[in-house]
């Protein structure tokens, strides 16, 4: 029979305080998620407030100092902090007059001097979906009630590109008609829907979509050119994808020039007739860091639009301290949380700025000359340089973006993997992609470079890159295979 015993054991382990947990969580958020987090904190915590008055550059100096000397800045920075302006001001006013300062922080309403209560999102045009557009046309067609119900069912069955992918019997069952519609009724309703605008709607496949558009555009104006285009779409659509111009010309019995003209017409057709309607899934990126060249030096600064203007409410904090007792423990916790939030917000942007400056210095050749000058870089190199943990640098580079004269890039973009060269050096994978892109742009259109050929050229230049790697990089750049890039004329 076992007996239970009590014992003591001494053990050391690392634990994160609530403040550090909050700091880690805020650091890894994207600018949009961070703005939402700050807005929630402002709404729920009475000791936090939004500073609507333009302040001086004290906050900018605090963040800039923290980025240069984090230990000293932490000792000097007061609990009550206002974060308002970018960390540096350009002497000629370049930053202050830039487009970045025209709009407010993410999620905020743009200020309007004539009517500050206007939400400009209310003035945006309402999205008109594909189904709404088709329903309004169905109501105008002269049809029986059964046909109208079946047409509305077909409209609801269309996908976002405007294709009918659903099985015929499934559409019939979804209509709910009694007795169920037969094949003739289905065909009549389908033809009526396919006659609606935009042309090519409700097609079952790409061939039918293009033929419907040809029928609509050339209705009453059928020429020999229209017949050739229709013949190519009907019988040789698979050859169109690989640009087999000579093969189609021999099979049809026309010249290669006629086939080229027909292909140009086919390219003007719309393979996805429904994409113009409805809300597009457009995601705007707000950069966290802006990099510019001033006086032959690359400088990085925080984007002022992502830095929230929050501070500790002095009046509420003083009132609580003068009337504090045991009954207000929840308020004491909120005051402590407000102090943590203000300090962690400042620490977040200080860390982002330090990492951004280090990246800009390490990759200044990329900023000057483009992808071919990108150097290999690892998270550990930046972490060692700044005295941070590698996981901290990883959190900073996650969902954070840098605006450069070459475009807006995620910070992770500046950490390409190193690839050894034949002379013992190292080359970044980004530089290899840039080299592949230049080769493809300079190739002969009548004799494009295959992936194997590109790999052999890179090998002669000292870069041992496998053919499948070239294929992967080409697909990442959305470049077609060499068979589809070939042009006979």
Does 98 have pLDDT greater than 50? no
Q: What is the mean pLDDT of residues 55-71?
A: 50
Sequence ranges of the domains in the chain: 18-106+286-386, 129-203, 205-276, 417-489
- Predicted confidence band of residue 328 (pLDDT cuts 50, 70, 90): low
Residue 339 has a CB neighbour count (10 Å cut-off) of 18
Cβ 402 vs Cβ 409: under 8 Å = yes
**Got the DSSP string for 401-455?**
EEEETTEEEEGGGG-PPEEEBTTS-EEEHHHHHHHHHHHHHTSBTTBPPPHHHHH
Residue 388 and residue 368: Cα distance in Å, rounded? 28
3-class DSSP state for residue 53?
A: coil
Tokens of 197: 């605008």
CATH of 129-203, one of 1.10.3720.10, 1.10.357.10, 1.20.1050.10, 1.10.10.1330: 1.10.10.1330
Tokens of 208: 């039918």
Tokens of 224: 């020999």
Give pLDDT tens digits for 331-350. Answer: 888 888 888 888 888 899 99
Percent of the chain exceeding pLDDT 70 equals 79
- Predicted confidence band of residue 324 (pLDDT cuts 50, 70, 90): low
Residue 16 is predicted with a pLDDT of 66
Does 359 have pLDDT greater than 60? yes
Tokens 């006629």 -> residue: 258
How far lies 260's CA from each of 214, 249, 345, 444, in Å?
17, 9, 60, 18
53-67, 212-226, 411-425: least confidently modelled range: 53-67
- Predicted confidence band of residue 327 (pLDDT cuts 50, 70, 90): low
The reported pTM is 0.58
Residue 403 is predicted with a pLDDT of 94
Q: Crossing angle, helix 183-194 and helix 145-157, to 10 degrees?
A: 70
Residue 189 and residue 206: Cα distance in Å, rounded? 20
Cβ 287 vs Cβ 359: under 8 Å = no
Contacts of 230 (CB under 8 A, 6+ apart): 211, 214
Same-fold call for 129-203 versus 417-489 = yes
Residue 447 and residue 440: Cα distance in Å, rounded? 11
Cβ 313 vs Cβ 47: under 8 Å = yes
CATH topology of domain 417-489: Arc Repressor Mutant, subunit A (1.10.10)
């Amino acid at each position: 029979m076992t007996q239970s015993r009590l014992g003591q054991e001494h053990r050391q382990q690392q634990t994160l305080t609530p403040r550090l947990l909050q700091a880690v969580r805020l650091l890894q958020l994207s600018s949009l998620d961070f703005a939402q987090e700050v807005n929630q904190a402002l709404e729920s915590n009475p000791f936090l407030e939004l500073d609507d008055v333009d302040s001086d550059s004290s906050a900018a100096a605090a963040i800039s100092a923290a980025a240069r000397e984090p230990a000293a800045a932490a000792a000097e920075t007061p609990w009550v902090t206002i974060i308002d302006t970018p960390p540096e001001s350009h002497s000629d006013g370049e930053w202050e007059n830039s487009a970045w300062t025209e709009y407010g922080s993410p999620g905020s309403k743009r200020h309007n001097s004539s009517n500050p209560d206007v939400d400009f999102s209310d003035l945006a045009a309402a999205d008109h979906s594909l189904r709404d557009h088709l329903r309004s046309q169905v109501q105008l067609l002269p049809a029986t009630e059964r046909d109208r119900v079946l047409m509305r069912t077909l409209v609801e069955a269309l996908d976002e590109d405007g294709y009918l992918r659903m099985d015929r019997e499934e559409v019939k069952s979804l209509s709910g008609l009694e007795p169920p519609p037969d094949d003739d009724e289905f065909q009549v309703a389908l033809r009526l829907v396919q006659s609606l605008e935009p042309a090519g709607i409700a097609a079952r496949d790409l061939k039918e979509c293009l033929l419907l558009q040809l029928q609509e555009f050339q209705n009453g104006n059928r020429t020999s050119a229209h017949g050739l285009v229709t013949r190519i779409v009907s019988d040789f659509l698979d050859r169109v994808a690989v640009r087999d111009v000579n093969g189609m010309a021999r099979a049809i019995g026309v010249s290669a020039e006629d086939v080229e003209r027909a292909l140009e017409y086919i390219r003007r057709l719309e393979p996805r007739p429904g994409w113009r309607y409805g809300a597009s899934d457009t995601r705007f990126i707000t950069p966290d860091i802006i990099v510019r060249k001033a006086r032959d030096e690359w400088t990085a600064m925080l984007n002022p639009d992502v830095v929230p203007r929050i501070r500790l409410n002095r009046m509420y904090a003083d009132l609580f301290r003068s009337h504090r007792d045991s009954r207000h423990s929840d308020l004491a916790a909120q005051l402590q949380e407000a102090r943590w939030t203000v300090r962690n917000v400042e620490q977040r942007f200080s860390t982002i700025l330090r990492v951004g400056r280090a990246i800009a210095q390490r990759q200044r050749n990329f900023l000057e000359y483009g992808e071919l000058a990108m150097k290999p870089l690892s998270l550990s190199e930046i972490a060692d340089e700044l005295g941070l943990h590698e996981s901290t640098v990883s959190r900073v580079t996650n969902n954070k973006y840098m605006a450069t004269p070459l475009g807006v890039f995620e910070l992770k973009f500046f950490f390409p993997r190193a690839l050894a060269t034949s002379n013992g050096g190292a080359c970044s994978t980004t530089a290899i992609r840039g080299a592949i892109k230049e080769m493809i742009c300079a190739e002969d259109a009548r004799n494009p470079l295959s992936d194997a050929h590109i790999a052999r050229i890179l090998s002669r230049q000292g870069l041992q890159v496998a053919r499948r790697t070239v294929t992967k990089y080409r697909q990442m750049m959305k470049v077609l295979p060499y068979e589809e890039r070939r042009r006979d004329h």
